[in-house]
């Protein structure tokens, strides 16, 4: 409780000092607001603010652990019944969070422990490898590598899908670092506000490559056993896949073999990998030839089924890893820009597209975009005690801290202490 009170008072001081920097979202008075307090882990929602100053006063007075507003607008957003709020439409939302998909760095810093048998380890697992149970406690960590993966997914979403395939104007796009392990993208295009949940699901399926039919894209097998591949001339996914396939074929053999073998990618057996590498140059020449409008895909061992496995792996590389329910749910809440994230103490930082490209949340050189708001100019330190069996290495502001083990008492820079306390792996001493 002492630690939560310490963090709440820090949040309160931050909001008091920076209240004028809390921005006003569009259609502010028609949004539903929600907060998670430090004291009781129960969401307080169905709130409306008609003035920005009243909202700022609320943040200063209550200093919540998490602050949200709706992607939707309502005529009466403070009505307690969703069906009576008077729904007016919803921005198209995308949430990219590395909690939801594998990144190689998780094998170094994400921790898990089985509640049933006590087995523990590092990495991203669904069930205990020892007893097979699904009762797993997890500690998800943050590093530059996984945050870069999340950032690149946002860039891919904008460059490869939203602009070329949906012709969405970048002026309608609002990007924000979530304050933890990902990014949000809100599209305030009036033409998209009235999409139904089913229509939003169709957009998500297209962006992720879910339920893609390779037959409809042109892959088919004739009765003679001849397999005809996809056409780059076709727009949409067919062109995307062919461009990615060409890109893979121009990589060195070491990378291509890794892609074909890795169980998180194509996961092909030794003989198929060897065959693909042997036919690599001939196959590349075949699919890039201007004379062959409809190329025959002939590599020893590659049946129609094996081609689909490879193409699915390529689709996974092209598609964007979005948190699907966030985009589909028209009543979804999203973190308020400029607010603080209670699991890190970092700020939810708005960015334009150009700022995003070089943005580094753990070591951001531009002070105006720096989400680490509790760095002390006087180089203040804080004593804390570790409360978890193991705390992974943490790299913040170019310095590395840890690993730490249970019971260790350490004195660390103020902003690092706030991060560890917010993550729930340390306490004030």
Assess if residue 91 is contained within a domain.
yes
Separation between Cα atoms, residue 96 and residue 292, nearest integer Å: 39
Do 27 and 40 share a domain, yes or no? yes
40/91 same-domain check? yes
Whole-angstrom distance, CA of residue 132 vs CA of residue 120:
13
* Euclidean distance between CA atoms 69 and 85, whole angstroms: 14
Tokens of 44: 């307080």
User: What percentage of the chain carries pLDDT values higher than 70?
Assistant: 99
257 lies in the same domain as 309: yes
| 8 Å CB contact between 330 and 200 | yes
pLDDT band at 292 (very low <50, low <70, confident <90, very high): low
- Is 34 inside a domain boundary? yes
Residue 294 has pLDDT above 80, yes or no: no
pLDDT mean over 178-201: 97
Among 284, 318, 352, the domain-final residue is 318
Mean pLDDT on 339-353: 98
List, for residues 224-279, the tens digit of each pLDDT value: 889 999 987 788 999 999 999 999 999 999 999 999 999 989 999 999 999 999 99
Chain centroid to Cα 392, Å, comes to 21
Query: Residue 147: CB partners within 8 Å, gap ≥ 6?
Result: 98, 181, 360, 361, 362
**Is 411 within the bounds of a domain?**
yes
Q: 200 and 344 share a domain?
A: yes
190: in domain: yes
Question: How far, in Å, CA of 77 to CA of 82, rounded?
Answer: 9
Confidence class for position 293, pLDDT limits 50, 70, 90: low
With cut-offs at 50, 70 and 90, classify the pLDDT of residue 319.
Answer: very high
Q: Give the CA-trace dihedral at 139, 383, 397, 345, to 10 degrees.
A: 60
Q: Are 159 and 173 within one domain?
A: yes
Tell me if 212 is assigned to some domain.
no
Q: Do both 171 and 58 map to the same domain? A: yes
Residue 93 shares a structural domain with residue 114 = no
Q: Do 199 and 332 fall within a single domain?
A: yes
Residue 348 pLDDT:
98
Q: Would you state the pLDDT for residue 209?
A: 96
C-alpha closest to that of 65 among 39, 95, 83: 39
Look up the CATH number of the domain holding residue 356: 3.90.920.10
Whose CA is closest to 323, among 202, 198, 423, 182?
Answer: 182
Same domain, 337 and 384: no
This model's pTM is above 0.95: no
Residues 33 and 60 in one domain: yes
Rounded CA separation 332/324 (Å): 11
Query: Is 423 part of any domain?
Result: yes
- According to DSSP, the residues that pair with 93 across neighbouring strands are 186
For residue 91, give the nearest of 325, 327, 356, 335 by alpha carbon.
Answer: 327
Q: For residue range 370-386, list pLDDT tens digits in order.
A: 999 999 888 899 999 99
Per the structure, the count of domains in the chain is 4
Average pLDDT of 64-70? 98
Cβ burial of 381 (10 Å; 0-12, 13-18, 19+) is: middle
Continuous segment of H or E residues that includes residue 183:
strand 182-187
> Residue 116: which domain range?
106-139
Structural domain ending residue among the three candidates 274, 290, 318: 318
Q: Distance (Å, rounded) from C-alpha 35 to C-alpha 7? A: 16
Of 272, 287, 318, which one is at a domain's C-terminal end? 318
Q: Are residues 255 and 242 in the same domain?
A: yes
Task: Quote the pLDDT of residue 378.
Answer: 87
User: Is the pLDDT score of 312 beyond 80?
Assistant: yes
DSSP at 169: -
Cα–Cα distance for residue pair 146/53, rounded to 1 Å: 36
Q: Let me know if residue 385 belongs to a domain.
A: yes
Q: 286 and 200, same structural domain?
A: no
**Backbone φ/ψ region at 40: left (φ over 0), alpha (ψ -120 to 50), beta:** beta
Q: Is residue 147 part of a domain?
A: no
Residue 2, classified by CB atoms within 10 Å of its CB into exposed (0-12), middle (13-18) or buried (19+), is exposed
């Amino acid at each position: 409780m002492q630690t939560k009170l310490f963090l709440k008072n820090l949040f309160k001081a931050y909001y008091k000092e920076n209240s004028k920097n809390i921005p006003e979202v569009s259609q502010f008075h028609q949004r539903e607001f929600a907060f998670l307090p430090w004291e009781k882990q129960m969401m307080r929602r169905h709130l409306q603010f008609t003035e920005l100053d009243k909202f700022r006063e609320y943040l200063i007075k209550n200093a919540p652990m998490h602050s949200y507003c709706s992607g939707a607008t309502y005529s009466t957003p403070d009505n307690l019944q969703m069906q009576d709020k008077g729904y007016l439409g919803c921005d198209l939302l995308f949430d990219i969070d590395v909690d939801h998909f594998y990144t190689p760095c998780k094998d170094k810093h994400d921790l898990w422990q089985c509640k049933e048998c006590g087995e523990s380890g590092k990495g991203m697992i669904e069930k205990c490898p020892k007893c097979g149970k699904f009762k797993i406690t997890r500690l998800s960590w943050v590093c530059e590598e996984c945050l870069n993966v999340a950032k690149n997914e946002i860039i891919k979403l904008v460059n490869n899908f939203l602009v070329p395939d949906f012709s969405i104007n970048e002026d309608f796009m609002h990007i924000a670092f979530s304050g933890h392990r990902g990014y949000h993208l809100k599209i305030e295009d009036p033409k998209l506000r009235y999409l139904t949940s089913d229509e939003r699901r169709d957009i998500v399926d297209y962006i992720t490559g879910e339920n893609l039919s390779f037959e409809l894209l042109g892959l088919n097998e004739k009765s003679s056993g001849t397999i005809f591949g996809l056409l780059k001339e076709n727009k949409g996914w067919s062109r995307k896949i062919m461009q990615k396939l060409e890109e893979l074929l121009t990589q060195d053999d070491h990378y291509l073999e890794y892609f074909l073998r890795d169980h998180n990618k194509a996961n092909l057996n030794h003989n198929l990998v060897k065959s693909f590498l042997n036919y690599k140059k001939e196959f590349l020449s075949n699919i890039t030839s201007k004379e062959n409008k409809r190329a025959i895909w002939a590599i020893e061992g590659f049946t129609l089924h094996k081609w689909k496995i490879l193409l699915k792996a390529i689709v996974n590389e092209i598609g964007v890893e979005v948190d699907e329910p966030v985009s589909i749910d028209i009543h979804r809440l999203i973190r308020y820009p400029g607010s603080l994230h209670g699991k890190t103490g970092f700020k939810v930082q708005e960015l334009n597209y150009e700022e995003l490209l070089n943005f580094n949340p753990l070591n951001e050189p531009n002070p105006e975009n720096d989400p680490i708001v509790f760095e002390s100019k006087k180089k203040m330190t804080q004593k804390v005690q570790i409360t978890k069996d193991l705390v992974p290495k943490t790299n913040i502001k170019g310095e590395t801290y840890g690993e730490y083990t249970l019971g260790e008492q350490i004195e660390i820079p103020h902003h690092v202490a706030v991060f560890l306390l917010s993550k729930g792996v340390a306490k004030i001493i």
